[in-house]
Amino acid sequence: MLLAIDVGNTQTVIGLYDLEPDDAHNVEKRLADTHLLDHWRVSTNAERTADEHALVIQEFLGFHGFSFDDDIAGVALCSSVPRVTGALRRMSERYFGMQAVVVEPGIRTGLPILYDNPKEVGADRIADAVAAFDLYGGPIIVVDFGTATTFEAISARGEYLGGAIFPGIDISLDALFARAAALRRVELVEPRRAIGRSTTESMQSGIIFGYTSLVDGMVRRIEDELGEKAHVVSTGGLSGLITPLSSTITHHEPWLTLHGLRLIYEKNQ
């Protein structure tokens, strides 16, 4: 089995994949993520050592009857936190006796990157793009709701064209609460109306409907530059909240990055 690990600035997502070969013609099977056996989400902690990472993963595997020592045949990793990247490399070498496949310059992705400096593109953004193009073809736009909200544009020929980055929902809220003493944290749920009739409703409207409008407006701008309509796929921790309200998002794939890691792992064997 394959451990696919997506390390974000705030959270780390771990997926366990069966390495049985895909049926390349069975799109529904791939879309259903039938090979994703289980997944876990933990807080990203740059202070954890390689041994501590191994302990966390061992516990998750043991909960579901998988063997830490016998069942893992590979590790694929993308990371936004260099200290965690190093610790997970050491964990893979010490506990699994293998080098992790890390999404970084020089790795084979099958995705031409047309950024001015391809080394600047985040590893998670590359994994998202690889997965989205595999599942839906192009042109396609990926919206990833993480610590930052990112947009990726992939052409009909499978080229990574670039995208946009702006502060994520949680970061925006943290800034608001830090600067506005009279405002307090609110539950992130869909508001009943756009015109809030209390401070809580007004904040929920601004956060949820405001971010949805931002996403839809940005997608339309990107499509104008592409010169054609595109598939639009959402992913990331808060994507399930925004996706049902969006008029432009056509697909929701919570584990898109993990799927991309699995594909990149297979391309490098």
Q: Rounded to whole angstroms, how far apart are CA atoms 142 and 153?
A: 7
Q: Rounded to whole angstroms, how far apart are CA atoms 43 and 41?
A: 7
Contact 255, 33 (CB under 8 A): yes
How far is CA 247 from each of CA 53, 189, 204, 213, 242, rounded to the nearest angstrom? 40, 18, 19, 9, 10
- Quickly tell me which residue has 């307090």 as its tokens: 184
Tell me the helix, strand and coil percentages in the chain, rounded to 5. Answer: 40, 20, 40
- The reply to whether omega before 82 is within 30° of 0 (cis) is no
Active site residue 124: yes
Of 85, 80, 110, the closest CA to residue 100 belongs to 85
* Beta-strand runs (E) in 146-222: 148-154, 160-167
> In the sheet that 101-102 helps form, which strands lie side by side, from edge to edge?
36-43, 11-17, 2-7, 74-79, 101-102
Q: How far does CA 167 lie from the centroid of its chain?
A: 15
Residue type, 124: D
Q: How far does CA 7 lie from the centroid of its chain?
A: 9
Of 150, 239, 168, the closest CA to residue 10 belongs to 168
Across-strand partners of 140? 154, 231
> Which listed residue (18, 38, 70, 124) is catalytic?
124
Residues with a catalytic annotation lie at 124
